[in-house]
Structure formats: C-alpha cells, structure tokens
Amino acid sequence: MLYNDRAAFILQQLQLKSTVKVTEIAKSLNVSVDTVRRDLKALEEQGQLKCVHGGASLPDYMLAFSNFSGREIIHIEEKRRAALKALEHLRPGSVIALNSGTTNVILAQELIKRFTDLTIVTNNVSAAMVLMQNQSLRTIVLGGDLDSLEHSTYGSICERELGRYYPDICFLSINSVDVEAGFTDFRFAEIGVMQLMARNSSKVIAVMDSSKLGRRSKKVIMDNRMIDLLVMDSVEPDVRELYRRAGICIE
C-alpha cells in the first residue's frame, strides 16, 4: 500500500475517533509499526495530526473547531460508560444542571430510562430534546444567545436565568483535562455558564471519556478544587494516582 493510501486511512480514522494507536493502524493496514510511525511523523510535519505516546490525535485547532454533530459520533460507547457511572451519584428528587456537550446528551439518554422525579436545568438544547421524551421529568431550558454549532445557549441572559437555581448536582461535559493545566475547554462563550453551574451546585461532577485525558484545550475554565469528582469510562491506577496528587479525583 502506498503512503497516500495509508495517510488517507489514518486521517479518516482520526476524524471518526479523534485518536489512533500505532498498533491498531499497523494491524488494519497489514504494515509494520515502524512504517506507521514514519507516516504519523510525516503527517504531523504537515500539520494534519499530533503525535502522542503510542499513536496520534487531532491537532488542537481541529479539536477546537470540530462541531457538535461531528463529535456526536466519536467515542460513543466510552461516553456512555462514563455517563452511566456518573448517574450512580444521582438521587430521586434532585435538581441537576447539565451544560452543553455530546457526553451530556448521552447522559440524558440514559437518565430518561432510569429516573422520573427530577428537575433538570440546562443550556444544552440537544439534551433538552432528549429529556422531553420523559414527561415525568421537569426540564428547564435556559434562554440566551444560541450557539448553532454547539446546540447550546450562552451569554448574560443565560447566566442571569441560571443564577436563580442552586442544583444539588452538576454534570459538566468538559473538553480536556491535564495534570498541569487542569480542566480546559475551547468553548469560550460558555465558560461563564460552566463556572456559574459549578459555583451554584452542591456537588460538581465532570464527565468525560478517556480520550480527553492528558489533553489541553484553549483556556482553563475553573480551579481543580471546584470539581468534586471526575468520572471517566476507564483509567489506569497509576494515572488515577498521578491526577490525585494534582488535586483531581478520578472515579
């Protein structure tokens, strides 16, 4: 197989998954690991990807501008496992807050199967569309400016409405987390909403799939101490301990 064909396959897999592993690519293409490493290096020099330990990921600028619909199909099962673990912390009768993000849409899909007596405050339009399928839930959709790419609301009106609520628990879908940088995100317009959700909530749980681990996005969104718990689909014990030392508790 020629380089151009291998490169096209690698980039296609990155668009679907946002990360690829050297060993998996080598097996899929029936080529050596060294060949894949050379291909990844060449693609990195072209700005097409970013080499990481054991594989590659989309470069930060592509992650920042990948829209909601594109992210909706990435790491679905990992997001679902993280969402199910997060829902174990939820109790009937609670008031909860959900911000934007595809992980919280999946969380909403699982929530409507398992709970009835809840009040949900959200700026996540797609999650609200899911929640309306369960008429036993009370869903409050925050107004404000509409972000058509993120399927969410934001801005001063949104924050003013949000300020009237004090949720029992907040589930935050966040773009990236890193030992040194902490929790970071590219959605500048929504950072104020996320921070206010965290400040007003009795408990704050960040929910993300493990592909977000060890990444940095464009802006730090809040102090690590504002997040009570980070729930992920899976994490190695040594990595969990590393983050614990940085003040981030991972479940």
**pLDDT tens readout for residues 74-98:** 678 899 999 999 999 999 999 999 9
Mean pLDDT, to the nearest integer, of 147-176? 94
For residue 229, the SS3 value is strand
Q: Using the predicted structure, report yes or no on whether residue 26 has a pLDDT greater than 90.
A: yes
Could you please state the CATH topology (level 3) that the domain comprising 68-245 is classified under: Rossmann fold (3.40.50)
Mean pLDDT, to the nearest integer, of 99-104? 93
Q: Using the predicted structure, report yes or no on whether residue 64 has a pLDDT greater than 60.
A: no
Q: What pLDDT does 149 receive?
A: 80
Mean pLDDT, to the nearest integer, of 40-58? 87
Quick one: which of 39, 17, 16 has its CA closest to 26? 39
For residue 93, the SS3 value is coil
Q: Considering the chain, what percentage of its residues have pLDDT values greater than 90?
A: 66
- pLDDT (tens digit per residue) in 114-127: 999 999 999 999 99
Delimit the CATH 3.40.50.1360 region(s) of the chain: 68-245
Contact 184, 227 (CB under 8 A): no
Q: Using the predicted structure, report yes or no on whether residue 63 has a pLDDT greater than 50.
A: yes
How remote is the C-alpha of 238 from its chain's centroid? 22
Q: What is the dihedral of CA 178, 179, 181, 182, to 10 degrees?
A: 80
Delimit the CATH 1.10.10.10 region(s) of the chain: 3-58
Whole-angstrom Cα distance, residue 224 to residue 247?
A: 6
Q: Could you tell me the pLDDT band of residue 65, with boundaries at 50, 70 and 90?
A: very low
For residue 186, the SS3 value is coil
Locate the DSSP E strands across the chain: 19-21, 50-52, 55-57, 95-98, 119-122, 138-141, 145-147, 152-154, 169-173, 176-178, 182-185, 203-207, 219-222, 229-231
- pLDDT (tens digit per residue) in 50-62: 899 999 987 664 5
Q: Using the predicted structure, report yes or no on whether residue 150 has a pLDDT greater than 90.
A: no
How confident is the prediction for the chain on average, in pLDDT? 90
Q: What pLDDT does 68 receive?
A: 52
Q: Using the predicted structure, report yes or no on whether residue 66 has a pLDDT greater than 60.
A: no
Contact 60, 217 (CB under 8 A): yes
Could you please state the CATH topology (level 3) that the domain comprising 3-58 is classified under: Arc Repressor Mutant, subunit A (1.10.10)
Q: What pLDDT does 29 receive?
A: 95
Q: What pLDDT does 88 receive?
A: 97
Whole-angstrom Cα distance, residue 106 to residue 173?
A: 11
Residue 250 DSSP one-character state: B
- More confident position, 130 or 17: 130
Q: What pLDDT does 62 receive?
A: 54
Residue 206 DSSP one-character state: E
Whole-angstrom Cα distance, residue 19 to residue 57?
A: 4
Contact 59, 47 (CB under 8 A): yes
- More confident position, 151 or 165: 165
- More confident position, 47 or 222: 222
Q: What pLDDT does 60 receive?
A: 60
- pLDDT (tens digit per residue) in 219-248: 888 888 899 999 999 999 999 999 999 999
Question: Token pair for residue 140?
Answer: 């409050």
Q: Using the predicted structure, report yes or no on whether residue 48 has a pLDDT greater than 70.
A: yes
